[in-house]
Structure 1
Amino acid sequence: MRGLRFIETRRSRELRRDATSAEKIMWGRLRNRNLGGFKFVRQEPIGPFIADFVCRECKLIVEIDGETHSNQEEIAADVRRSDYLNAQGYQVIRFTNQQVYENADAVAEAILAALSRRPGLITRAPHPASPRLRREEFTPSPARSSPLPPASPPRRGGARRSPPSAHGSLRAR
């Protein structure tokens, strides 16, 4: 099914490329399992809608609303959208761009609190590759003495090749 949604995929890619500054700020907080070890994706197609940020595992959608979500028509559309997504089993939480600009930490804490209230959720430790996890906090498994992967063996072989010249692929006939 994933490969059959060409239009939605193209639109999602456009939205990721043209993200608002508030979305970029929040993506910096949510990406790479930075928030409590939970995996988020951005601009995810769900039915006829594209959600800003989604934690698929917890079925939580985070929407960052800009100025266009302030008139009655847009508010009604947001309610219909949230009703549809709730019927699909998702919880939708909304924040304004202004909330993200003024206190992104509080927004991240509210998201984490919403994640912790989801039913059937197992409390998570930060992902080992998370940038929030300091090296001294990482304890390697007994089978491995170093948290880093083993270095690749040195290359064997003849002399190094020099890069081809501008006409290196053309041969005189």
Structure 2
Amino acid sequence: MGPYVVDFFCPAKRLIIELDGGHHNEDGVAEHDRARQSWLENEGYRVIRFWNSEIATDLTAVLERIYVELYGSREAEAMHLQHHRKRRMPT
């Protein structure tokens, strides 16, 4: 995404999912993460972050949060999400 690499991306919802290890607590890395997230959000993307430990200890809660971000609520019916890419016209 621009000058950055993201962990997971759902183009249909412009949703970015980031998984962070312990090194993301370090000052330099944390500052880079804040700048990166700010840039992504200014470009119209939503960014949600999870610690690796959350994935390991409470995967269900992580998946529920992602589901809510995609569909609006836990009760919403899942549907096929389709990305409508803008086609570039040949020059």
Q: Quickly name the TM-score band, shorter chain normalised.
A: 0.7 to 0.9
Letter in 1 for 2:56: Y
| Backbone CA RMSD of aligned residues | 1.7
Flag as ranges the 4+ runs of structure 1 deviating above 6 A.
none
> Which structure would you say has the larger Rg?
1
1:92 correspondence with 2:47: yes
Are the structure 2 counterparts of residues 125 and 57 from structure 1 closer, same or farther at C-alpha, using a change threshold of 3 Å? closer
The equivalent residue for 1:39 is: none
Q: What letter corresponds to residue 67 of structure 2 in structure 1?
A: L
TM-score (norm. length: structure 1): 0.42
Structure 2 SS opposite 1:95? strand
Larger RCO: 1 or 2 (CA < 8 Å, sep 6+) = 2
Task: Give me the whole-angstrom Cα distance separating, in 2, the residues matched to 1:76 and 1:113.
Answer: 28
Which amino acid is the alignment partner of residue 34 of structure 2? V
**TM-score, normalised via structure 2 length:** 0.77
Q: Does 1:52 align with 2:52?
A: no
Give the aligned partner of residue 30 of structure 2: 75
Q: What are structure 2's unaligned runs of at least 5 residues?
A: 82-91
What percentage of aligned pairs have identical amino acids? Answer: 34
User: Aligned partners of 1:116 and 1:124: how far apart in 2?
Assistant: 7
| CA distance in structure 1 between the partners assigned to 2:10 and 2:79 by the alignment | 16
Paired residue total: 77
